[in-house]
Structure 1
Amino acid sequence: MFSRIGQLIFDNEAVAKTSDFTMGLEIEMQRVDETGHISQEPYPAGIGDEKTNPWLTNDYLETMAEMVTPSAKHVLDAMHYLYVINNTLRSALAPGELLWPLSMPPKLPKDKTQLRFAKMGPKKEAYLKEWTKRHGYSKGTPCGAHINLSIDSHVIQLVLDKCGDQFKDEVAVRNHLYTVLAQGFVRYRWFITYLFGASPIAEENYFAPGHELAHPIRSIRQSSHGFGTKFAGDYTNVQRYVDRIEEGVKQGILTSDYEFHDSVRFKGNENLKQLPQTGVEYLELRMLDLDPSSSVGVRTGTLRFIRLLASYFIMHPALKDDEVNPVLDLANQMNEVVAEESPTAACHYRTKALALIKHLERYANQIQLGPEYAEILEDLEDRVINPATTPSAKLLNYVQDGSLTAYALRRAKRYQEAALETIQPFKGFEDGRVYTAAELRAALAK
């Protein structure tokens, strides 16, 4: 059953626009040497300055490369940008350097003070040092794939034109629609963790001695053992989202609003306090492990599935205000259950997962999406029915002596060799030029 807004979109034949999200990607990968240890090489000189290049930068560690794409209106364009930027980084690596394809880091040194923080300026480095005092080095090292989603402007304008009695202006429409999206993704994060979790084990020295996991799990990164601060947001509305983060800073739970690292973040005004007034511009989704079966850490089908989910959420009712926190608190508990399951075990919420797949299949048929979406949903349904086909379970086939190092290095070397065979690699960052998004899109399109 569609919401009032969903029915309005459907009746005005604008449903296609609900899946026309503008999408940007942020992919983190560790630089390593040929033996699978954290690289000792500096930031590659051939891609400019890590402080000023917003498209190839670092996050937390000096070796934690982050590839950022300009926004794209189509999934294939986003993937094209990502492949070019990924190949550009690979072509600039020092001889013998590789990109680690797993979310969990390679073997870490026993003395983690040897790890070098990203050189992102005094303010950022001070923040990283303080963060590490609170959480330890290991918690900052897992890598992932972040997706930035922006709703099509036609949808926002349609809702404003037809629902003027409900919203006072365009900012109010945006804040409402992004809140609906955020609630949906947090509520079904457990489903995404099951389908795409790919961090079943940790390499040596990630866990402190005596605190290692007793057995592989579906996703260390998406569990309480994974990245960073465990501070849940309030997604009732944008104002309460901001108030919750500011309260966390006031109580000293967060060092700053920048430290808020929940699975979904509202993005827009850099001044968090002004976000409710200026409006959310896009959502940052942070719940995907790296996919080691792809050289760029994510697959086209995964991005299409995320867009389908987002379209589905927009068309359906938001949670009632008094239900938001109880429902999402339960959802976070469900995610922890799923993340800590054995990768080969049936999901504890298997029945719910299959029901959601069926809802998505009906929705995809209703709005007449193409056959590629039907194929994606068939594949994901098989993952629910047969957990051995999930990414995390597949990785267990390659574990040797409690480690995935041999597998990761084989993948990394294969991807590196393929990148170096690129006929015309992009060299636009060599002179330190800082591209705007429009300029970079034009350059990468060539």
Structure 2
Amino acid sequence: MTNQQFKSTLQALSLPANRSAIVGIKRGIERETLRITEQGRLSAKQHAAALGSPLTHPSITTDFSEALLEFITPAQSDAELTIKQLEDIHKFTLAHIGDEILWPISMPCFIKHQDEIALAQYGTSNTAQMKTLYREGLKNRYGSMMQAIAGVHFNISLPESFWQTLQTIRQNTQPKQAFISDSYLGVIRNFKRNLWLISYLFGASPALCSSFLQGRDTKLPFEAFGKGSLYLPYGTALRLGDLGYTNSAQSALNVTYNNLDQYISGLKSAITTESDLYRNIGTYPDGRLKQLNHNILQIENEFYSPIRPKRNTAPGEKPTEALARGGIEYIEVRALDVNPFSPVGISLEQVYFLDVFITYCALMPSPDMSTQQQQETQENLSAVVNAGRDPELCLVQDGQSISLKQWGQTLFTDLRAVARYLDDAHNETHYVAVIESLQKAIADPEQTYSGQYMQQVLNSGLDNGHFVFELAKQYKANFAASDYSVYSEAEFEQMAQESDQQRLQIEQSDTLDFNAFLADYFKA
């Protein structure tokens, strides 16, 4: 019945009168990358002044550490333009960080000790100090090494015309925004059900430098190569596994995606409930704070989830307040490894696939998920992270064992139908072409990103780190030899200057001391 509903909905959307409703998908990309020295070590330099202020720059900022850059593209509907914008941001940045290069994979380079990882600095304003103290809290809760991992966040919204047409087809009588919010939550639930496929296809962190495991016990069946590299023979995305960007303390959080009020309530509970684990993190000997507070989550951003519902916030507004005010505006996919085969960490192929995948998740019926069902999706993800390229791997679907290959082929049958609908709507052929290309990886695991990556690394005879370092140098040389295609050098220089002016204005407008500012923020 579920599949029949999907087919009838897709058939109705494909009618000439409805077909163009899907045109206008908007996307924005946030790509993280470490700055590395010409010796292949983590940079100890401050954020380059020529890049402007990371507090206020619209396109170039930092994440956890001073060395972890984050590049941001504006939300818009031209996928090719988005990739070109990302390329220009990389070109400008590389031209203004001296001899440094950008690390082109998710797992970090050789780091002797986590104390080498300097926290990001944003200036002297209360907002800037809060951002750094939040990172201090992450360091003291989970260690800095986990925060040195990079990823790609993919923001996507389906056009309002699509939701209006879908609401009519489904004969739904809710207020428009309530329908859109509920539908996006349905997308999220279906995304989580099928999240393993993203890790299988695009996971690109099957190997790591052994320095990453400093003092950490693991029972994973690592194999060694080179002088200090480890890999899982069938692994796909260590970044998404127990060694990666996860938080076991959050596994007990009761954050569900069945309705917006429950989601907001679950997050609010986490940011207002004291944690037994973090209550004992005191202050430094000089009295400085080690974290924003003792709660399960210091702020909402600390919630580690592969996908999040989002709405653009007004000044001073918290993410859950924005959601409560206006409902869900877009979703943020956080499950992508940095793509080592793309100089900007993500390819047009992936963007088109995600268009198809998210649209599929919107069209397929999406019943509520129990806590147990959410746990099942997490176990499937873990299985694929650690052994996704094992030809015999089985997953669990609705409590029943199913081979990855069988489930994958069924999914791709539906994805191909969605791709055909998207191609017809856009008068294109690239959606079906991408689906046909990626489907080959279901039958042949070596065609996945992780499979291709390990083939190239092992064939090179190099350590993982040396292989990646050579790749990074090549990307830098390529950017130096290329021309800007969207922005110009002068535009980036102006953005940098304006961001510095905005940072200064924020610093000059502060009226409270930092402790009073924090108290006021959390009181609100």
Percent of pairs identical after alignment?
A: 22
CA shift, 1:259, in A, is 0.8
Q: CA deviation at 1:5?
A: 6.6
Compared CA separation, residues 316 and 20, structure 1 to 2 (3 A): farther
1:175-231 CA-partner distances (Å, limit 9, x unpaired): 122112211211111010000000012213211236254321221101121114343
1:444 maps to what in 2? none
Matches within 5 A, 1:291-310: 291-310=339-358
Cα deviations by residue, 1:83-125 (Å, 9 ceiling, x for unpaired): 111211111111x200000100101122x22321111321011
Q: Matches of 1:165 and 1:287 in 2, distance apart?
A: 31
Q: Of 99, 104, 127, which aligns to 1:101?
A: 104
- Residue range with higher mean Cα deviation, 345-354 or 259-268: 345-354
Following superposition of structure 1 onto structure 2, how do residues 252-271 of structure 1 map, counting pairs within 5 Å?
252=275, 253-268=296-311, 269=313, 270-271=317-318
Matched, 1:355 2:362: no
| Cross-structure match for 2:238 | 220
Q: CA deviation at 1:126?
A: 0.8
| 1:142-181 correspondence runs (5 A) | 142-159=149-166, 166-168=173-175, 170-181=176-187
Structure 1, unaligned runs of 5 or more: 436-446
Scaled by the length of structure 1, what TM-score is found? 0.89
For residues 385 and 113 of structure 1, the distance between their equivalents in structure 2, rounded to whole angstroms, comes to: 44
Three-state SS of the structure 1 residue aligned to 2:365 is coil
Q: Which moved more, 1:34-43 or 1:365-374?
A: 365-374
* CA displacement 1:16-49 (0-9 Å, x = unmatched): 4336320000000000012211012221222211
Kindly report which structure 2 residues correspond to 1:66-81, keeping only aligned pairs within 5 A, or say none.
66-81=70-85
| Distance in 2 (alpha carbons) for counterparts of 1:303 and 1:310 | 10
Instruction: Indicate which of 137, 140, 144 corresponds to 2:144.
Output: 137
The equivalent residue for 2:377 is 331
Which range moved further: 415-424 or 60-69? 415-424
Counterpart residue identity of residue 341, structure 1 = A
Counterpart in 1 of 2:117?
Answer: 115
When residues 106 and 344 of structure 1 are mapped into structure 2, their CA distance, relative to the original with a 3 A threshold, is farther
Residue aligned with 1:244, SS: helix
Alignment check: 8 A CA contact 1:235 1:324 kept = no
The 1-side partners of 2:247 and 2:498 are apart by 32
Matched, 1:39 2:43: yes
2:333 match: secondary structure: strand
2:330 aligns with one of 282, 286, 298: 282
Decide whether the 8 Å contact of 2:202 with 2:449 is kept in 1: yes
Could you tell me whether the CA contact under 8 Å between 2:91 and 2:479 is conserved in 1?
A: yes
Determine the C-alpha separation between the residues in 2 that align with 1:12 and 1:328. Answer: 38
* TM-score in terms of structure 2 length: 0.76
Q: Which residue identity is paired with 1:263?
A: P
- Separation in 1, partners of 2:370, 2:490: 48
2:128 pairs with 1:128: no
Query: Do the aligned partners of 1:18 and 1:155 also contact (CA within 8 Å) in 2?
Result: yes
Q: Distance in 2 between matches of 1:364 and 1:421?
A: 36
SS of 1:428's equivalent in the other structure is helix
- Residues 109/345 of structure 1: CA separation in 2 closer, same or farther (3 Å cut): farther
8 Å CA contact retained: 1:37, 1:106: yes
Q: Distance in 2 between matches of 1:385 and 1:162?
A: 36
Q: Tell me how large the CA RMSD over aligned residues is.
A: 2.4
Contact residue 73 and residue 85 of structure 2 kept, 8 A: yes
Question: Structure 1's 117 and 224: CA in aligned 2 closer, same or farther, altered over 3 A?
Answer: same
- Cα 1:174–1:434 change in 2 (3 A) is farther
Which whole-Å CA distance do the structure 1 matches of 2:112 and 2:213 have between them?
Answer: 11
In terms of mean alpha carbon deviation, does 54-63 or 308-317 score higher? 308-317
Larger CA deviation: 215-224 vs 358-367: 358-367
Q: Which amino acid aligns with 1:239?
A: D
- Contact 1:25/1:145 (<8 A) preserved: yes
Partner of 1:242: 264
| Contact 1:6/1:316 (<8 A) preserved | no
Contact 1:202–1:403 (CA under 8 A) maintained in structure 2 = no
Q: 1:365 maps to which residue?
A: 420
Q: Distance in 1 between matches of 2:423 and 2:54?
A: 44
Q: Which moved more, 1:355-364 or 1:182-191?
A: 355-364
Alignment-derived partner of residue 473 in structure 2 = 413
- 1:227 maps to a residue whose letter is Y
Structure 1's 164 and 67: CA in aligned 2 closer, same or farther, altered over 3 A?
same
Greater mean deviation of Cα atoms: 395-404 or 171-180 = 395-404
Q: Is the 8 A contact 2:420 2:431 kept in 1?
A: no
Quick one: distance in 2 between partners of 1:14 and 1:325?
37
CA distances 1:226-257 after superposition (whole Å, capped 9, x unpaired): 11434364111211111111222233322221
Distance in 2 of aligned mates of 1:346 and 1:371 = 33
Note closer, same or farther for the CA distance 1:426–1:13 as it changes in structure 2 (3 Å cut): farther
Q: Unmatched 5+ residue regions in structure 2?
A: 123-127, 223-231, 276-295, 395-403, 500-524
For 1:378 and 1:154, locate their aligned partners in 2 and report how far apart those are by CA, in whole Å: 28
1:48 corresponds to which residue?
52
Determine the structure 2 residue equivalent to 1:376: 434
Is the Cα contact below 8 Å between 2:423 and 2:431 reproduced in 1?
no
Distance apart, 1:292 and its partner CA: 0.5
C-alpha contact (below 8 Å) 1:140/1:228 kept by paired residues: no
Residue matched to 1:318 = 366
Give per-residue Cα distances to partners, 1:414-433, cap 9 Å, x unaligned: 11011112335534232424
Question: 1:273 offset after TM fit, Å?
Answer: 3.7
The superposition leaves residues 132-189 of structure 1 with CA deviations (integer Å, 9 ceiling, x where unpaired) of: 1111111111111110011212123445667785212x32122122112211211111
Larger radius of gyration: 2
* Change in 2 beyond 3 A, CA 1:19/1:37: farther
Where 1:49 maps in the other structure, the secondary structure is coil
Compute the displacement of 1:64 (Å). Answer: 0.4
Mapped partners of 1:267, 1:420: distance in 2: 36
Corresponding residue for 1:189? 195
Matched position secondary structure for 1:430: helix
* Per-residue deviation, 1:262: 0.2
Answer yes or no: is 1:341 the counterpart of 2:387: yes
Out of 6, 23, 29, the position equivalent to 1:25 is 29
